[in-house]
A and B are shown apart, each in its own frame.
Chain A
Amino acid sequence: KAGVTQTPRYLIKTRGQQVTLSCSPISGHRSVSWYQQTPGQGLQFLFEYFSETQRNKGNFPGRFSGRQFSNSRSEMNVSTLELGDSALYLCASTMGQALQTQYFGPGTRLLVL
């Protein structure tokens, strides 16, 4: 079974731009979660989507948003990029019920100049 895939793998943007990242979960998985990893803040939860609805949300500003499609693929968008948004963005999927093991994708490395 294929794992979680994320595109693109690397991205360079400039301040003020917006960016969209994509995540395809493991086949049959209906929940997708997003995490941000930075050297200063570590791994932090952004949000979780299940059945096209945001089910859980971390403590990030409204510039960070996401959505999920009917095939469970998810996108996250960051508007008005700031230098501090430079990070590794990781996506994880589960079957959907609570308290399940999350399987992670390879991540998207975003650099904001």
Chain B
Amino acid sequence: DIVMTQTPLSLSVTLGQPASISCKSSQSLLHSDGKTYLYWYLQKPGQSPHLLIYEVSSRFSGVPDRFSGSGSGTDFTLKISRVEAEDVGVYYCMQDKHLFSFGPGTKVDI
């Protein structure tokens, strides 16, 4: 199974400042079809998770452009260019190259 890890596990940010979360996979997420199956989700307090980023760097519908994803192979990053109050919650990376597996989550607060 593919194991996902994230750092940091907790992140205190300042409004208007950038933030960055790292995600690593135990094996490459690059598929033979040329796509890389890495996703980011945000779970706001008391809510179900929702999709932010798909295939490393594509923003899902309605996701603000202050969110960006990058990376390749086994190393990936989610960046928030300027943190807003509504960005607090737990961020998860996930892979579906082989079944589905999530990282442990990164709790972001202000």
- A and B are interacting partners: no
